[in-house]
Amino acid sequence: MEEQAIVTAPVLPKYNLNEEQEKKEILRHYRALLRALRPKLKKGDKELVRHAFEMAADAHKTMRRKSGEPYIIHPIAVAMICVEEIGLGIRSTICALLHDTVEDTDLSLEDVEREFGHEIARIVDGLTKISNVIDTNTSQQAENFKKILLTLTDDPRVILIKLADRLHNMRTLDSMKREKQLKISSETVWVYAPLAHRMGLYNVKTELEDLSMKYMEPETYKEIARKLAETKRERTRYINEFIRPIKDKLESGDLDFEIYGRPKSIHSIWNKIKKKGVAFEEVYDLFAIRIILNSPHSREKEDCWKVYSIITDEYTPSPERLRDWLSNPKSNGYEALHTTVMGPQGKWVEVQIRSKRMNEIAEKGLAAHYKYKEGSSDEDRFDKWFGQIREVLNNQDTDSVDFLQDFKMSFLAEEIYVYTPKGDVKMLPIGSTALDFAFSIHSAVGTKCIGAKINHKLVPISHKLRSGDQVEIITSNKQKPSDDWLNFVVTAKAKNKIKDALKEVKRTIAEEGKYILQRKLEGMGAAFVQTNVDTLVAFYKFHSQLDFYYQVAIKALDLKELKEFNVLGDKLEPPKPPKPQVHELAVEPVPHYSKKDSELIIFGESSDKIMYNLAKCCNPIPGDDVFGFVSTGKGLIIHRTNCPNAPSLLSNYGHRVVKTKWAKNKAISFLTGLKIIGMDDVGVVNKITNVISGDLRVNISAMTIESHDGLFEGTIKVFVHDKEELEELVIRLKQLKGIHLVDRFDAEKV
């Protein structure tokens, strides 16, 4: 049985066409779009699509993409993805064709509304980025995400077209500069891939993750792709061997089905290698077997379980690897039965069983979901999800980056299912606590929650829930939320309600501060009026009047500078700031090197050598792929591009990222760490230290070895000059007899 191909970006043609050839090329793309739309076209639709195409082509006629191709090819390609890969229709095609016109050309939103009506104009507006954010502290990317998400609840097509736009940008990222590739890939993996997953677009999510990895971790990506290509023949042979007995039984069971093997994505294989700490060769489920049944709706569930029975008669299943999303579909509509069985040669194999309808929902997500929903009276899980988002979006005073973080944790995480005492099911993001559950019932239950009974056992409010738990909340009228509650919750609803309750308490205390200030101002002969209060809030550098009054009330601010203010009439004049004194800037030296041997060159305003700090979260060394991050208060910090914090920093604060590159300097050594696992044997420590200090003359900073049950696990901190030296060290250690794994630390352990 043939494997499906691994996702890779298409090779871009080099554009050196003349005007006539270009016109033909554009028309070829447009005709392909019309062919894809043919089954959906009703009377008058073709003319509308043509009008949108002509408007977009005219608006973009002088524009080109970085690859040199005419810009109009991008909107046509986005429309094509919407139709073919996401399953959207005519209106979405028109919106996709026009999605960049309002932002990048002379065409206005009014023009779009006049030609195509309010609905299409609203979607195009949702797709138009915020071009200028006034507050420099907020991240423009986060503001744009927020705007997209605000439109999401009105019309989910905004997100679906945005995902198509992002997918095409990722497929054509080769022509961009390196720093742009990093920023766009980080945003993709941070928000867009989880969003595609949440919208049920598994193929889009997989391709976005793989393409992001291709730019963020190119070496690892190429290595896994190469190994997958090398092992393809033996995998195909194994898949055929696995499928043969099942196929015979399914045919004799009178089932209409398709069965094939599908390789796991490069990104998911890499995740497994990292999470399990194993080599590529040890990742047991490099592929999944998929069985798709052509069953009537009424018999789908029954047939899926019948197939499960046939498979588990042939192969032994792993009891903890059964996933039943038939009885309890995911909130993005995903339905399937997953099981992992022990196949021939003692290899674990994942098997996914679903009907044709379920498969279309798994691949086309939301668009297919709505197609099959017509005529169904079930409360739609997507609508429920949108309702929860709408509720959170109504609270508009959160900082954009915080909002994005909360949104990611609350709405893009995997879910767990928990039950109320009456047996009603509640869906919550993974990591939710008893307190999250209390707020999901009602904010009044949340604010009075003192504990919970989980499966009839008493637990604290911070207890993390697991799928299948039955939860009963215990409340008390004396209970009040406190600041530490914010550390116990992950859902945006709970966070917002706790912040509101804390603000209410703060407001009551702040009243006292307001009264103290009023007495002080009147004692000075100044009026207690809004302009004077605003002057003081600005002088003491508070974000809000409430914070200022609160600090006065709790005596954290004693207002002693008030006597330096002038009173003109009844108006307060702040004291003149003293003339700035010029001090020499003293920079604290970073261990192991001084300013003159700084070996990072910063490309930007200046190419001089400058001071920097190395991030503690990823400990970069020369040779690592890195970027510079201008932090507030700590200057320039250098992170590896595969640092655990990189996606968040590059997505939310792209404007603070500087292009950085190592210069050669063998005189400086850098601290890094290695984790070693192997067979516990006499003299193992001696063997390891001989290689490090004796053969390679690398200095050891620290070493710990713990052994248990015949295995040892060690951590070694060493000073190396660059990545090449570290890689040589890893290769030499792996060659030692009995060593199973040598890996560089990824986290803050050095």
Tell me what percent of the residues of the chain surpass a pLDDT of 70. Answer: 81
Residue with tokens 């215990």: 474
Task: Provide mean pLDDT across the span 462-473.
Answer: 90
pLDDT given at position 334: 83
Of 135-144, 640-649, 698-707, the poorest mean pLDDT is in 135-144
Task: Provide mean pLDDT across the span 54-80.
Answer: 88
| pLDDT tens column, 525-548 | 788 888 888 888 888 878 788 888
User: Taking 60 as the threshold, does the pLDDT of residue 300 lie above it?
Assistant: yes
pLDDT grade for 472, boundaries at 50, 70 and 90:
very high
- Strand (E) or helix (H) holding 378: none
CB 506 within 8 A of CB 545: no
Residues annotated catalytic, as ranges: 103-104
User: Taking 80 as the threshold, does the pLDDT of residue 579 lie above it?
Assistant: no
pLDDT given at position 587: 35
Task: Provide mean pLDDT across the span 10-26.
Answer: 67
3-state secondary structure 162-229: HHHHHHHHHHCHHHCCHHHHHHHHHHHHHHHHHHHHHCCCHHHHHHHHHHHHHHHCHHHHHHHHHHHH
| pLDDT tens column, 484-500 | 898 889 888 888 888 88
pLDDT grade for 370, boundaries at 50, 70 and 90:
low
Pairwise pLDDT comparison (454 vs 370), residue with the higher score: 454
User: What's the half-sphere exposure (Cβ side, CA atoms, 13 Å) at 83?
Assistant: 26
Domains of the chain in start order, with CATH, are 19-216 (1.10.3210.10), 234-373 (3.30.460.10), 381-499 (3.10.20.30), 500-573 (no CATH), 595-662 (no CATH), 670-744 (3.30.70.260)
Pairwise pLDDT comparison (183 vs 337), residue with the higher score: 337
pLDDT given at position 422: 87
pLDDT grade for 585, boundaries at 50, 70 and 90:
very low
pLDDT given at position 143: 67
CA distance 103 to 356: 40
CA distance 524 to 563: 8
User: Taking 50 as the threshold, does the pLDDT of residue 123 lie above it?
Assistant: yes
Tokens describing residue 126: 């949702």
User: Taking 90 as the threshold, does the pLDDT of residue 510 lie above it?
Assistant: no
- Average pLDDT, rounded, for the chain: 80
CA distance 639 to 617: 8
User: Taking 90 as the threshold, does the pLDDT of residue 438 lie above it?
Assistant: yes
pLDDT given at position 594: 37
H-only helix segments in 282-426: 300-314, 356-364, 366-373, 381-393, 400-411
User: Taking 90 as the threshold, does the pLDDT of residue 337 lie above it?
Assistant: yes
pLDDT given at position 362: 82
pLDDT grade for 667, boundaries at 50, 70 and 90:
low
Of 167-171, 400-404, 724-728, the poorest mean pLDDT is in 400-404
CB atoms within 10 A of CB 218: 13
pLDDT given at position 304: 93
pLDDT given at position 136: 42
CA distances from 281 to 277, 286, 287, 478, 741 (A): 12, 9, 13, 58, 12
pLDDT given at position 267: 87
* CA 194 centroid distance within chain: 5
Strands 739-744 and 415-419: unpaired
Of 307-311, 322-326, 389-393, 645-649, the poorest mean pLDDT is in 389-393
Of 297-311, 364-378, 695-709, the poorest mean pLDDT is in 364-378
pLDDT grade for 3, boundaries at 50, 70 and 90:
very low
Q: Please, is 102 exposed, middle or buried when counting C-beta atoms within 10 Å of its C-beta (0-12, 13-18, 19+)?
A: buried
User: Taking 70 as the threshold, does the pLDDT of residue 575 lie above it?
Assistant: yes
